[in-house]
Amino acid sequence: MDVPSLAFRTDLALARLAGSEVDDRGDHVVVRTPDNPDYYWGNYLLLPRPPTAAELPDWEAAFVRTFPRSRHRAYGVATADGTRDDLAAFADAGMEADASSVMTATAVYEPPRPNRDATYRPLAGDDDWAQQVALWSDSEDDRVHHDFVVAKVAAERRMTETGDGAWWGAFLGGRLLSSMGLVAASPGLARFQQVQTHPDARGRGLAGTLVHRVSRYGFEELGAHTLVMVADPEYLAIRIYRSVGFEDTETQLQAQRRPA
């Protein structure tokens, strides 16, 4: 299936690196993560275009056939643009519909107020990765299960072991307060993953400084000429990414339903 979306093309490449199964069935793509079946965006269907209300029941039936034990629903749309209005069939069926900004950069610069107190480096060793689990848990809401976080961080660590990228952290006093991954998705193209900052450390310039440092790593060590970042257009973090040189270029369309 043709996938015009830069966000989903990089998503699929990174899913393979993380050990997920990616199955192109011609009229849609199945992404499956047997090690973490509760991970919505590791177990989803990628559709060629937004379905109509009349088409959605067939996709729902396909999802159930593909993931018979899953209690969630998760759908991506392979187009490179669109709005939430294009996801009306999902929204009318009670799902969360999201249109995220796909941002790219071919050069970066320091944020207006860089944080020079922290240490910025790749995660390395069991203690760093245990802190990553804790940061994940502290940064997400109460609906995120600990077992899911452990499995997700284990997948992140596996991706770094391939040599195709790294997870970086901002440390103060040895404590991990902000982290993000950057992984090569294809020659010349690298994708940011899971940008997060501890709630008590936000507003201190850690994330912006870390994005700048990690971007330099992408250009200088991964050999990337384009970096890709996906962000919520309504969340304040998008201003951080713009402040170091990222620009909005596409839209990623997704819909999900959490378990009751």
Map out the domains of the chain as residue ranges. Answer: 6-100, 119-244
CA–CA gap between residue 225 and residue 208 (Å, rounded): 20
pLDDT for 175:
96
Considering the chain, what is the average pLDDT of its residues?
Answer: 93
State pLDDT tens for residues 6-28.
999 999 999 998 889 999 999 99
Going from the C-alpha of 20 to that of each of 4, 12, 142, 186, the distances in angstroms are: 21, 9, 25, 17
* Strands 247-257 vs 226-231: parallel, antiparallel or unpaired: unpaired
pLDDT for 37:
87
Which of left, alpha, beta for 251 (phi over 0: left; psi -120 to 50: alpha)? beta
| pLDDT > 60? residue 57 | yes
Among the CATH numbers 3.40.630.30, 3.40.50.300, 3.50.50.60, 2.60.320.10, which is that of 119-244? 3.40.630.30
pLDDT for 242:
95
pTM score over 0.85: yes
Going from the C-alpha of 55 to that of each of 25, 79, 171, the distances in angstroms are: 17, 17, 49
Going by pLDDT thresholds of 50, 70 and 90, the confidence category of residue 155 is confident
State pLDDT tens for residues 156-165.
898 888 888 9
State pLDDT tens for residues 66-108.
999 999 999 999 999 999 999 999 999 999 999 999 999 999 9
More confident residue, 136 or 224: 224
Q: Torsion angle of alpha carbons 47, 53, 58, 61, nearest 10°?
A: 90
| pLDDT > 60? residue 130 | yes
| pLDDT > 80? residue 204 | yes
CA 144 to centroid of chain Cα atoms: 15
